[in-house]
Structure 1
């Protein structure tokens, strides 16, 4: 297994393979948007259900509240993510415009910034001057370098629409799972609630496992961590509903 992995790595790092990979347009990742939507969808939907059951409401009320929250909160979250990514894109565009203006008006000053940036990385002498000359003869590369090195931001911003759609889709798909038992009308409300809790727990654990695969983290620990987070939120919602029911005699 280790030998095959080593061979794969060596093949991927052959000059031809590297050239092909670098010639491809970098793609923005929406993994974080999917995870955010999935976790929030499952947490908030099951929390609504838990709060409704804790308050003594019927299964139909829990189902209505759950689905109402599913689409309303999912849409709200998608819009928020869209606006956040749009603001980030506008910020990057504004910084890029500022750097372009500085290069036009004070090119020697901007060259000195490049020089000092790479000097701090350990380059000096003729090597340093060649780096400065290479970067500053290409305006696009020059600006991209300033964005990353001076401002600490990536030149390529994520698509706001893609981020919003990813968040909304993950929210709705995962958030709908805890509501499935309440569609089965020939079981008691407590059986429905227990089934919903089991499904929600499975979703939480699977989301954690997905994170561990993407970010190379321990599967069980990541799954358990997400499960505990979701369970805590649902438990708080159930307790709140129960206390209010007792307090107001619902």
Structure 2
């Protein structure tokens, strides 16, 4: 990751710039949901394509199974993501209400918790007592401090619907890519599979590259790692389809 120049950092840390940044509402991160949906969508559909090719099924069967899995699994994943984030929000709200109740019932005990938390950070004496006094004067600041420092939870709001929609859209868009060659009628089954393989590999690599750009990681390494993970899943699907066709005597 390239480090900013000193002049740039000094401009960003002027009092007015710091105030402006702190006044902004926290950004809701949707990229992890998009990456999750994209990778899983591509793995899902290409695994179906690989399994169908390994079993010797026709292009029509692969296309039908692929789109059926694309919609069903995409919806299922979006719902799962929604429920997961909603449960996380409810857990945070429950902890917040619990801390409010504790402050109302045993305020001195909660003040001592604040005192010990900041004592472990190196505060002591009058400075420590002043910190405790300032925090405990505002009930919501007090609750937020306990939420972050005692329970390790972030107070930033999460959007279950946004995450679910992002996951679903990314799943559909990226997951549909490996199916495109099977919609081309003049290609034989082998060429359709090879074209699907190349497209899936490209999708995996591009997703890995996108992660590297956003999170400032080595581009090639991130792309290759994502490609290897997706390729492993597709290889397992191909092997399973081929072995199943032999074990169960399926012939097309």
Question: TM class, shorter-chain normalised?
Answer: over 0.9
Partner of 1:194: 194
Aligned residue for 1:29, secondary structure, equals coil
1:136 aligns with 2:136: yes
| Preserved CA contact (<8 Å) 1:92 1:157 | no
**Aligned residue number for residue 43 of structure 1:** 43
C-alpha distance in 2 between matches for 1:3 and 1:245:
55
Cα separation, 1, equivalents of 2:4 and 2:114: 42
Alignment deviations for residues 147-180 of structure 1 (CA, whole Å, 9 cap, x no partner) = 0111111112311111101111111111011011
Q: Which residue of 1 aligns with 2:213?
A: 213
Unaligned runs of 5+ in 2: none
Deviation string, structure 1 residues 34-92 (Cα, Å, up to 9, x no partner): 11111101111100110011111110110110001001000000000000001001000
Aligned pairs for 1:16-165 within 5 A:
16-165=16-165
User: Structure 1 CA distance, aligned partners of 2:6 and 2:59?
Assistant: 55
Range with greater deviation from structure 2 (7-16 or 59-68) = 7-16
Question: In 1, Cα distance between the equivalents of 2:31 and 2:117?
Answer: 32
Structure 1: distance between partners of 2:133 and 2:108: 12
Q: Distance between the aligned counterparts of 1:218 and 1:81, measured in 2?
A: 28
1:3 Cα deviation (Å)?
9.6
- Determine if contact 1:88/1:157 at 8 Å carries over to the other structure: no
1:168 is aligned to 168
Q: Distance in 2 between matches of 1:153 and 1:90?
A: 12
Inter-partner Cα distance in structure 1 for 2:88 and 2:99: 17
Q: Which SS does the other structure have where 1:85 is aligned?
A: helix
What is the Cα-based RMSD across aligned positions, in Å? 1.3
Q: Distance in 2 between matches of 1:26 and 1:55?
A: 50
Shift of 1:248: 2.4
What do the CA deviations read for 1:190-247 (whole angstroms, capped 9, x no partner)? Answer: 1111010000000001111111112211111111001000000001100111111122
User: Alpha-carbon deviation of 1:4?
Assistant: 7.1
With over 3 angstroms needed to count, the CA separation of the structure-2 counterparts of 1:5 and 1:169, relative to structure 1, is: farther
| Counterpart Cα distance in 1 of 2:46 and 2:3 | 45
Q: CA deviation at 1:9?
A: 2.6
Give the distance between the partners of 2:3 and 2:228, measured in 1 at CA. 38
Residues matched between the structures, number: 249
SS at match of 2:228: helix
Q: For residue 241 of structure 1, what is the aligned residue in structure 2?
A: 241
